[in-house]
Amino acid sequence: MKEIKNDKLIIEKNLCKGCGICVAFCPKNVLEIKDKKVSIRDLDSCIQCGLCELRCPDYAIYLGGK
Amino acid sequence: MKEIKNDKLIIEKNLCKGCGICVAFCPKNVLEIKDKKVSIRDLDSCIQCGLCELRCPDYAIYLGGK
Amino acid sequence: MEYREFRLTGSGGQGLILAGIILAEAALLEGKNVVQSQSYGPEARGGASKAEVIISDSFINYPKIDKCDILLALTQKAYDKYIDTLKDNGVLIVDNGISLNNNINNINVFSIPILNTASEKIGTPMVANMIALGSIQAVTDIVKMESLEKAVLSRVPKGTEELNRRALNEGVGLINNRKGTLNYETC
Amino acid sequence: MEYREFRLTGSGGQGLILAGIILAEAALLEGKNVVQSQSYGPEARGGASKAEVIISDSFINYPKIDKCDILLALTQKAYDKYIDTLKDNGVLIVDNGISLNNNINNINVFSIPILNTASEKIGTPMVANMIALGSIQAVTDIVKMESLEKAVLSRVPKGTEELNRRALNEGVGLINNRKGTLNYETC
Amino acid sequence: MVSKLIDKYYRTDRLPHIWCTGCGNGIVLRSIVKAIDNLGLNKDDICVVSGIGCSSRASGYLDFNTVHTTHGRALAFATGIKFSNPNLHVIVITGDGDCAAIGGNHLIHAARRNIDITTVVFNNNIYGMTGGQYSPATPTGDKGTTAPYGNIDYNFDLCELAKAAGATYVSRSTIYAANMIIKQVEEGIKNKGFSFIETLTICPTYYGRKNSKGNAVDMVTHLKDSAVNISAYEKLSEEEKANRIPIGELYKRNRPEYTEKYESMMKLF
Amino acid sequence: MVSKLIDKYYRTDRLPHIWCTGCGNGIVLRSIVKAIDNLGLNKDDICVVSGIGCSSRASGYLDFNTVHTTHGRALAFATGIKFSNPNLHVIVITGDGDCAAIGGNHLIHAARRNIDITTVVFNNNIYGMTGGQYSPATPTGDKGTTAPYGNIDYNFDLCELAKAAGATYVSRSTIYAANMIIKQVEEGIKNKGFSFIETLTICPTYYGRKNSKGNAVDMVTHLKDSAVNISAYEKLSEEEKANRIPIGELYKRNRPEYTEKYESMMKLF
Amino acid sequence: MADNNVVLMQGNEACVEGALIAGMKFYAGYPITPSTEIAEISASKLPKIGGKFIQMEDEIASISAVIGASLAGNKAMTATSGPGFSLKQEGIGYAIIAEVPCVIVNVQRGGPSTGLPTSPAQGDIMQARWGTHGEHSIIALCPSTVKEVLDVTIRAFNLSEKYRTPVIILMDEVVGHMREKVELPNPSKIEIYNRKKPTSSPDDYMPYKVKDGDIVPEMPSIGEGYRYHVTGLVHDEYGFPTNDSSIAEKLITRLVEKIESNLDDIVEYEEYRLADADEAIIAYGSTARSAKSAINLLREKGRKIGLFRPITIWPSPKQQIEILAKKVKRISVIEMNLGQYYLEIDRIAGKYTNVTKYGSVNGELISPDEIISFIEED
Amino acid sequence: MADNNVVLMQGNEACVEGALIAGMKFYAGYPITPSTEIAEISASKLPKIGGKFIQMEDEIASISAVIGASLAGNKAMTATSGPGFSLKQEGIGYAIIAEVPCVIVNVQRGGPSTGLPTSPAQGDIMQARWGTHGEHSIIALCPSTVKEVLDVTIRAFNLSEKYRTPVIILMDEVVGHMREKVELPNPSKIEIYNRKKPTSSPDDYMPYKVKDGDIVPEMPSIGEGYRYHVTGLVHDEYGFPTNDSSIAEKLITRLVEKIESNLDDIVEYEEYRLADADEAIIAYGSTARSAKSAINLLREKGRKIGLFRPITIWPSPKQQIEILAKKVKRISVIEMNLGQYYLEIDRIAGKYTNVTKYGSVNGELISPDEIISFIEED
Ligand SMILES: Cc1ncc(C[n+]2csc(CCOP(=O)(O)OP(=O)(O)O)c2C)c(N)n1
Ligand SMILES: Cc1ncc(C[n+]2csc(CCOP(=O)(O)OP(=O)(O)O)c2C)c(N)n1
Ligand code: SF4
Ligand code: SF4
Ligand code: SF4
Ligand code: SF4
Ligand code: SF4
Ligand code: SF4
Ligand SMILES: [Mg+2]
Ligand SMILES: [Mg+2]
């Protein structure tokens, strides 16, 4: 169920509950909510700061290679 | 069982357990322990400060008229 | 002697407990006996929601429902979980977003756009429960429409009466308007 | 079959519990059965003190004492309270500071200067319990003197052995020396 | 015969009390009664609630409404009483064990709610009633029957605890400074809110004996010497503070009281 | 699939967890695990003890020795575990209700003993598990299902309470400042003594809904805005302080630890 | 829905409703599933009628506050479930010995320990009888319908006031959480019992002396001028602690006997289709509902079976059960535990008839089908 | 007094002695009369042998710490009396469901509530069986002599380790406080049972699965590499919470059955002069001593009377009592309460013989004279 296979940012939609916390506090506006789940809007902007991973209550998003 | 009928200082020997607290902290050395009970040694010195009454754990000594 | 068992299922926040209570109160208004219960426990938190109502002419002893006469399902999850608890020849009312299982024989199916009607037609997903209630009324005739309306009005917040009444009627309409037009009823 | 019930009474701090334990241990050394108990409860705080010992050749079932064979009383209060619990023909050992009741018939009385001997002769009131034990030994012969000494020595603090042994012997002496000289025994 | 004060407020037929020779409990109790007398309160309006312990036996001697509860729960009972009838002056008498060991939770919650209860702790640094086990108020290193090699626990600063929990009047005194107890209990009763008054007292029978603290007079003398008024205490060096304990009114704060807040809420309807 | 961190320390077959959408518990829990990872501790040497509540369910997700106890008693169980085997790193996970309501007494006594336990409180200002009753951490005036007209109680300052009781490391953080939680848990574990770490988290389902606090994002934003680092906080005026809450390391003290003191005592023999 | 005073009500809600009718003015509690609604509804209703609601720090504090409130003159209640009920036991003992009226509700869930928090059980039957230490008797009531929850709660307050003793209401999760039709009683027609207050002057008042013709001592409220002493220690008629053995014997015996000698007044039960029965089920609470369904079906099959349903579960309806036992060839005790009330029934009835048991601890209400197969098989 | 290992010992002291022989390494408690000596002696002895003593803030904390210690691998004990025993009930339930071995001593005093703190009673017999909420079984042992206190304490630890369950020792104040001759056993000759540890690798370990042939699951200590989950909720064989009704049924039934199906191993009792008896007394604890004295005197008067003394009081020696009941014309249950164990005996024996009771709650040990007049009169 992994949505995006990339080295930067991995999303596990199974686990995502769509709370929007990662979206709201991403400094680069990389993410969005689609169909009540997180989704990557603009991977290129991602600076891999890891804040989304840090604050996702459901372990549904994390940096690649982690 | 009241030992001394005076207006200054009344002792209830029945209640006295002879702890010596009143004796030790009387500023005028009025009291003493005799036969394991409090006793008046020198009534005249008593200044009716009431400290003996204040600190007697057994309510066995108090000022006259009180 | 009438004895009917309803199971209303969906997700938390869809107001199905309230719908169950209103259905029970409507029956009460008509002098019937009712027992209403709901799921507590972990499911209640997880987002799933279930309300059960028994309506009967006489006193209801055993208050639990095993297999039900009427199953309402507003989510796929709820449908999948509870479809097997419907009796043979039972009535299934589902939101038409739900994909039905192939093994549902001997069941009267009403697949209607409950959620869509709520958000699109009435303008708020909050009233899906009322639409569902209306559809149940229309299918089962278990209580009179007046009783249901009365029960609804005594339970909903002041100022939302009209909205809820409309939703109720939309629900009735969803059934009446499709009757005869589609042939899901027995599949 | 020997079965003897002792009640040692006085005020808290006189070491009567310890005396009871030592008496019991001495009997134990001789292979006898013993039960020792003492008063808990409010009296224990109030200053009164009571230790009971049963010594028997065979196993002791009922562990409580109602009337006793031997009563030791070191204070007037204790004497007044417990004198009626002494059996007919029982033995009473009292400190001679205690004034005796007139109704004590059929009782063997030993009124001896226990407290005085402790403070004056030995020099410390702390050993009154040992003097009492010695007197009990001398009166009753319930245990051998060696056993009693052995029991004492295993219980008293290091360095006080000699003092306690002396007290024990003084207790024996108080009985032996007054035997025949006074006639309290039966009154 | 007893003094007028004792006669007026005690159940004198129950005297002498059960406390040991030199036990400080009687001094604290008289001070409480004196404070009540100074305030001129009606006896029927006073409810004294206590837990279980030597100190908690105090309630039985007083001619008020008295409730001797279960061990540690006096404040919870008192909360029910005060909340039921806010006109009562509710005074809780408790020991260091009763209040701070088993009863610690009720203490902090009564303080948090700022319910109008005046709590007087008889702190004798030991469980007296059960025969001398160490308590949460036994100084580190001291002995109790369950601390034969010296207590390795730290003892609470009960006043700090009550303050942190929310009490609005916090004070400490000793039986030597009994006049200070009287004053503090007066202030505590007057404070509309939770008042916490720690009184340092003595248990010669167990704490004293176990720790070679001498007789009652020695122990009172020690209290006299180690207690320092808070204003003076604050001026001491850290070193000097080490063996001293501050007494006096330690903390006050203004905050609406629980039952009054509830009454205002009821007025909404 | 989950991140390496989660995979290493979680019982991943038990995911997804039971917590609601937007519940902050998952954030706090990951932060604890990250701290453990940073310290490089052996999983077998860690024992996580929790009480009962939404937050206390956390223990079940972690691949350590985990003990899910009775409501309020986690610290008492943990005391038995740590004292029995001082080599274990014992971490207590508890809720504001579990820790400060029913468990308040165990909190203050564990702190008093300075036993080497790291306590992390998931403070969501409500009893989540039972459906939204007010807790001792619900701010005055806020609503809960048992405070339909607004809570008239005062809420504890849990950090002040832990400090007054004797904790030797006391800190506070929020789920917004999750990196701070990680740091504090690291420090807490390193502190040989009782560490108390309050994490402010969110319960959108009950506390949020009852008090119109918006959704999870709104609530996290609120935490972000109201929490101020202690150093900055101290410089604020009283007025400014009113709606702010200080976070950071609030208090540290050096004091020998309980199990070490006991070990030294045993060496006497 | 207030037409004709017929309303749809949840069991827990009916409990509060009954309590308010009975005069409850004080509630102290600590939340726990499946009893929490009782606290929540009390919190919402009490302030409106001048009553007091307080959420305490735990269950021990709750029962303590309730006892305090009752001493201060308020009818008081607390509600909980298994874990909290265990914690309240010391306090219940205090209410027994100090003779403080109060009502304790236990909405039973699966146990032991935290168990199955949201599932029904009847596993605290024996705990209700014996949970607190020391010799004592207790009154415990066990409703089976929502309407009965209301009635039984009123009765619980009345009995507690009359006998000056804590009364326990043992619901189970099914009864506590289900909604059902309730015909609200006309409050003016309901008999409400209030504790008897002293009429003598405070000087003559002996707080723990039972006057001739009375069942319990008179009880003033704190603050009414009768300044007496309340204690959880064994006490004399003046209320003061004593170790006197004859006083102790007399006190404890009186506390037990005031309940055990008044079974006629205290015991309540229902007989269902027993008239011609040659076999009987004994069940209580929600299980009794399943039993009725089962009995109706078994009767259709020709079995002469009926139900005896204790509403007063403690003290048990000994006489009635004995009479029943002499009449039927078999009694089956059906309960959501592994046979607790069975022990009591077996003791009473076992001398006269065959007593069997069926129980389950799976967190689900025993169904009529289960009962039928048990009855038919065994 | 160490000659021949015959020593004078107090009951409470013998309890600690037995515990140390059994391997106790942890004691947590809160003082209460008449059990306090157990804490005091433990405090003095444990540090010397590398064991841990801690005085907790209350009884709830004590039982909690004891459970924690046991999970961490130490044999652990706590002691208390009635009021504290009431407070420990929730914790006892946790130990039952999580299957944590531990020993809880209750030295009984007069109750209910704070009652008669320094007087003996046997009023917590039923509480020991039923004090915690939810369906469960329990093991409770009741010694009668000081020597037996020692033996029973060893046995309590052994049973708790073997059956992974809390074991209760029910003393009474008389037995706890009296001093008596004790022949110290040779430790090397005493059988000590230690919980069975897992041998499989941690990966294969299922913490709540009973292996074939075993009575209970294997139990590692925290820190030994088996990282498992312990909970007081109903759980599956992996230790995780579940609401699955069949798992719940299986778990609770297993916990009850591991005790009830092993009566042969668990039940211990003494028969005294019963061989030719046509009438019997049942008594336990100190009361059994009075009963023996009474029996000896009654025998002298020609009555063929004997004593059945349960040492394992729970689970009760059902079979033995049934056999006895079929043999004698009367069984009298004598206890320091108003008839608690009587209920159990009456249930078991009432079908076969006349069961009578004699009890008192006056804070004094029942005397042989009282027993004799009861037996002769009735
Ligand atoms: C539930 C319970 N646990 C324990 C006890 C035993 N107990 C009675 S008083 C007491 C301690 C008393 O200490 P404190 O409160 O300091 O009072 P003090 O006797 O020192 O005045 C204890 C542990 C009890 N009565 N009830
Ligand atoms: C003895 C006992 N009392 C009450 C409960 C019910 N209960 C379970 S969790 C809880 C409160 C949880 O609140 P908190 O600790 O803040 O955790 P949260 O759910 O908010 O994370 C309560 C009251 C219980 N399980 N046991
Ligand atoms: S790593 Fe940082 S920038 Fe990239 S998506 Fe996450 S929060 Fe945004
Ligand atoms: S924070 Fe996590 S759960 Fe929330 S939307 Fe983002 S990925 Fe999904
Ligand atoms: S009143 Fe003062 S001076 Fe007089 S005896 Fe008492 S203490 Fe001494
Ligand atoms: S203080 Fe009181 S009890 Fe003590 S010696 Fe003086 S009068 Fe007697
Ligand atoms: S034991 Fe201590 S506290 Fe108790 S009465 Fe005696 S001196 Fe006072
Ligand atoms: S109820 Fe609140 S605390 Fe519990 S899981 Fe949901 S959001 Fe989190
Ligand atoms: Mg104290
Ligand atoms: Mg919370």
ipTM of model: 0.97
Q: Is residue G14, in this structure, part of any structural domain at all?
A: yes
Q: What CA–CA distance (Å, rounded) separates G145 from B37?
A: 71
Look at chain H and count its residues. 378
Helix H or strand E encompassing C90: strand C86-95
Mean pLDDT, range B5-10, rounded to an integer: 82
- pLDDT at residue C182 in the model: 43
The alpha-carbon gap from E38 to the nearest alpha carbon of chain G, in Å, equals 20
Please state which CATH class domain D3-186 belongs to. alpha beta
Q: What CA–CA distance (Å, rounded) separates G96 from G256?
A: 9
Identify the residue with better confidence: H4 or G48. G48
- pLDDT at residue D41 in the model: 61
Q: How far is the CA of A8 from the centre of ligand 3 (A)?
A: 9
Which among H237, H259, H258 is positioned nearest to H248, based on CA atoms? Answer: H237
Question: To test the ligand 1 pocket, which listed residue (E29, E127, E175) has its Cβ within 8 A of the most ligand atoms?
Answer: E127
- pLDDT at residue D46 in the model: 57
Look-up of token digits 């080295």: A7
* Mutation target vs H (from G64, G135, G234; most H CBs, 10 A cutoff): G135
Burial category of D4 from C-beta neighbours within 10 Å (exposed 0-12, middle 13-18, buried 19 and up): middle
Contacting subunits of F (3+ beta carbon pairs below 8 A): A, C, E, G, H
State the amino acid at position G277 in one-letter form: A
Q: What CA–CA distance (Å, rounded) separates H82 from H120?
A: 11
Q: How far is the CA of E203 from the centre of ligand 5 (A)?
A: 24
H-type helices in H146-244, by residue range? 146-163, 173-177
CB G16 within 8 A of CB G192: no
Q: What is the pTM of this model?
A: 0.97
Beta strands B31-34 and B37-40 are antiparallel
* Closest ligand to the CA of E133: 1
| Pocket lining for ligand 1, CB < 6 angstroms | E 52-55, 71, 95-98, 122, 124, 126-130, 135; H 30-32, 59, 83-84, 87, 114
Do G298 and G162 sit in the same domain of this protein? no
Q: Is H338 on the interface with G (CB under 8 A)?
A: yes
- Per-residue pLDDT tens over the stretch F172-207: 999 999 999 999 999 999 999 999 999 999 999 999
Q: What CA–CA distance (Å, rounded) separates H343 from H125?
A: 11
The alpha-carbon gap from F152 to the nearest alpha carbon of chain G, in Å, equals 10
- pLDDT at residue E35 in the model: 98
DSSP assignment letter at E111: H
For chain A, domains (ranges, CATH) are 3-63 (3.30.70.20)
Range of the domain at G75: 5-189
- Per-residue pLDDT tens over the stretch G222-276: 999 999 999 999 999 999 999 999 999 999 999 999 999 999 999 999 999 999 9
Interchain CB distance below 8 Å, F21 and C47 = yes
User: Residue H333's domain is classified under what CATH number?
Assistant: 3.40.50.920
Mean pLDDT, range G108-124, rounded to an integer: 97
Q: What CA–CA distance (Å, rounded) separates F97 from F146?
A: 14
Look at chain A and count its residues. 66
| Pocket lining for ligand 7, CB < 6 angstroms | E 19-20, 23, 25, 54, 124, 128, 203-206
Give the domain-ending residue among G189, G206, G241: G189
Residue burial C171-184, b: 16+ Cβ < 10 Å; e: rest: bbbbbeebeeeeeb
- In sequence order, which residues have a C-beta less than 8 Å from that of residue F232 and are 6 or more positions away? none
Chain E positions touching chain G (beta carbons under 8 Å) = 11, 14, 43-45, 47, 49, 52, 59-60, 63-70, 73, 76-81, 83-85, 87-88, 105-106, 109, 262, 265-266, 268-269
Give the domain-ending residue among G144, G168, G189: G189
- In sequence order, which residues have a C-beta less than 8 Å from that of residue G183 and are 6 or more positions away? G4, G5, G6, G147
| Separation of first and last alpha carbons in chain C | 28
Question: What parts of chain C have a pLDDT lower than 50?
Answer: 180-187
- pLDDT at residue C42 in the model: 55
Of B55, B57, B66, the CB nearest to E5: B66
User: Can the peptide bond before residue D63 be classed as cis, meaning omega within 30 degrees of 0?
Assistant: no
Q: Is D29 on the interface with H (CB under 8 A)?
A: yes
Chain H positions touching chain D (beta carbons under 8 Å) = 1, 3, 6-8, 33-34, 117-119, 173-174, 177-181, 286, 289-290, 292-293, 296, 365, 367-368
Categorize the per-residue pLDDT at A19 as very low, low, confident or very high, splitting at 50, 70 and 90: very high
- pLDDT at residue D186 in the model: 35
Do H74 and H163 sit in the same domain of this protein? yes
* Closest ligand to the CA of A16: 4
Q: What CA–CA distance (Å, rounded) separates F87 from C46?
A: 38
Do H182 and H278 sit in the same domain of this protein? no
Tokens coding D131: 């003097």
Atom of ligand 3 nearest to the CA of A48: 1
Interchain CB distance below 8 Å, D61 and H296 = yes
C-alpha distances out from residue D125 to D96, D99, D169, E210, G51, Å: 15, 20, 15, 20, 64
Q: What CA–CA distance (Å, rounded) separates G282 from G331?
A: 7
Nearest residue by C-alpha to atom 11 in ligand 1 = E127
Identify the residue with better confidence: C57 or A6. C57
- pLDDT at residue C103 in the model: 74
- pLDDT at residue A11 in the model: 96
Do H177 and H319 sit in the same domain of this protein? no
Q: What CA–CA distance (Å, rounded) separates G154 from G19?
A: 6
Do H58 and H151 sit in the same domain of this protein? yes
Q: What CA–CA distance (Å, rounded) separates H133 from G129?
A: 11
Q: Is residue G329, in this structure, part of any structural domain at all?
A: yes
Q: Which of C160-164, E189-193, H77-81 has the lowest mean pLDDT?
A: C160-164
H-type helices in H23-172, by residue range? 36-45, 59-71, 82-87, 89-98, 125-130, 146-163
3-state SS of chain B is: CECCCCCCEEEECCCCCCCCHHHHHCCCCCEEEECCEEEECCHHHCCCCCHHHHHCCCCCEEECCC
CA angle H71, H241, H237 (to 5 degrees): 70
* Closest ligand to the CA of G116: 2
Q: Domain segments of chain C: what residues?
A: 3-186
Categorize the per-residue pLDDT at A4 as very low, low, confident or very high, splitting at 50, 70 and 90: low
Domain count, chain H: 2
| Pocket lining for ligand 6, CB < 6 angstroms | B 16-22, 38, 56, 58, 60-61
Q: Is residue H221, in this structure, part of any structural domain at all?
A: no
Q: Is H367 on the interface with G (CB under 8 A)?
A: no
Q: What CA–CA distance (Å, rounded) separates G177 from G241?
A: 44
Q: Domain segments of chain F: what residues?
A: 24-266
Q: What CA–CA distance (Å, rounded) separates F156 from F138?
A: 9
Which among G174, G376, G156 is positioned nearest to G288, based on CA atoms? Answer: G174
Q: What is the largest distance, in Å, between two alpha-carbon atoms of chain A?
A: 27
Q: How far is the CA of F122 from the centre of ligand 3 (A)?
A: 25
Question: Over 90: is that where the pLDDT of E214 sits?
Answer: yes
Interchain CB distance below 8 Å, E73 and G91 = yes
Of H57, H68, H225, the CB nearest to F105: H57
DSSP assignment letter at H35: T
Distance of CA F244 to the CA centre of its chain: 19
Nearest residue by C-alpha to atom 3 in ligand 4 = A16
Tokens coding G127: 């705990």
Of G3, G8, G174, the CB nearest to C36: G8
| Pocket lining for ligand 2, CB < 6 angstroms | F 52-55, 71, 95-98, 122, 124, 126-130, 135; G 30-32, 59, 83-84, 87, 114
Beta strands G102-110 and G75-80 are parallel
Do H159 and H301 sit in the same domain of this protein? no
Q: Is residue G247, in this structure, part of any structural domain at all?
A: no
Contacting subunits of A (3+ beta carbon pairs below 8 A): F
CA atoms within 13 A on the CB side of G156: 39
- pLDDT at residue D185 in the model: 39
- pLDDT at residue E141 in the model: 97
CA angle D161, D162, D165 (to 5 degrees): 85
Give the domain-ending residue among H189, H220, H246: H189
Q: How far is the CA of E177 from the centre of ligand 5 (A)?
A: 16
With a 6 Å cutoff on the Cβ, whether B56 touches ligand 5 is no
- Per-residue pLDDT tens over the stretch F57-67: 999 999 999 99
Q: What CA–CA distance (Å, rounded) separates G143 from G180?
A: 13
Categorize the per-residue pLDDT at A64 as very low, low, confident or very high, splitting at 50, 70 and 90: confident
Of H61, H73, H240, the CB nearest to F85: H73
CB D112 within 8 A of CB D93: yes
Q: How many beta-carbon pairs under 8 angstroms link E with H?
A: 46
Tally Cβ neighbours within 10 Å of residue E141.
12
- In sequence order, which residues have a C-beta less than 8 Å from that of residue F185 and are 6 or more positions away? F31, F32, F35, F36, F91, F118, F120, F197
Residues of chain E neighbouring F255 (CB-CB closer than 8 A): 154
Q: What CA–CA distance (Å, rounded) separates E62 from F173?
A: 50
Do H20 and H139 sit in the same domain of this protein? yes
Tokens coding F206: 């009950």
CATH of domain F24-266: 3.40.50.970
- pLDDT at residue C183 in the model: 39
Categorize the per-residue pLDDT at E107 as very low, low, confident or very high, splitting at 50, 70 and 90: very high
Of F109, F154, F265, the CB nearest to E112: F154
pLDDT means per 10 residues, chain D with 187 residues, are 93 92 97 92 67 96 96 95 94 95 84 95 94 96 96 93 95 83 39
Mean pLDDT, range H252-269, rounded to an integer: 98
* Closest ligand to the CA of G33: 2
Residues of chain G neighbouring F130 (CB-CB closer than 8 A): 31-33, 36
* Mutation target vs H (from D5, D25, D35, D149; most H CBs, 10 A cutoff): D35
Mean pLDDT, range F141-157, rounded to an integer: 98
Residues of chain E neighbouring D45 (CB-CB closer than 8 A): 18, 20, 205
CB G266 within 8 A of CB G139: yes
- Phi-psi domain of C100 (left: phi exceeds 0; alpha: psi -120 through 50; beta: other): beta
What is the percent of chain F where pLDDT is above 70? 100
CB D65 within 8 A of CB D7: yes
Burial category of G250 from C-beta neighbours within 10 Å (exposed 0-12, middle 13-18, buried 19 and up): middle
* Closest ligand to the CA of B27: 5
Burial category of F202 from C-beta neighbours within 10 Å (exposed 0-12, middle 13-18, buried 19 and up): buried
Residue F86 in 3-state DSSP? coil
Interchain CB distance below 8 Å, D61 and H8 = no
DSSP string, G117-184: EEEE--TTHHHHHH-SSSS---EEE---SHHHHHHHHHHHHHHHHHHTSEEEEEEEHHHHH-EEEEE-
Interchain CB distance below 8 Å, C47 and F18 = no
- Phi-psi domain of A18 (left: phi exceeds 0; alpha: psi -120 through 50; beta: other): left
Interchain CB distance below 8 Å, D64 and H296 = no
Question: Over 50: is that where the pLDDT of G48 sits?
Answer: yes
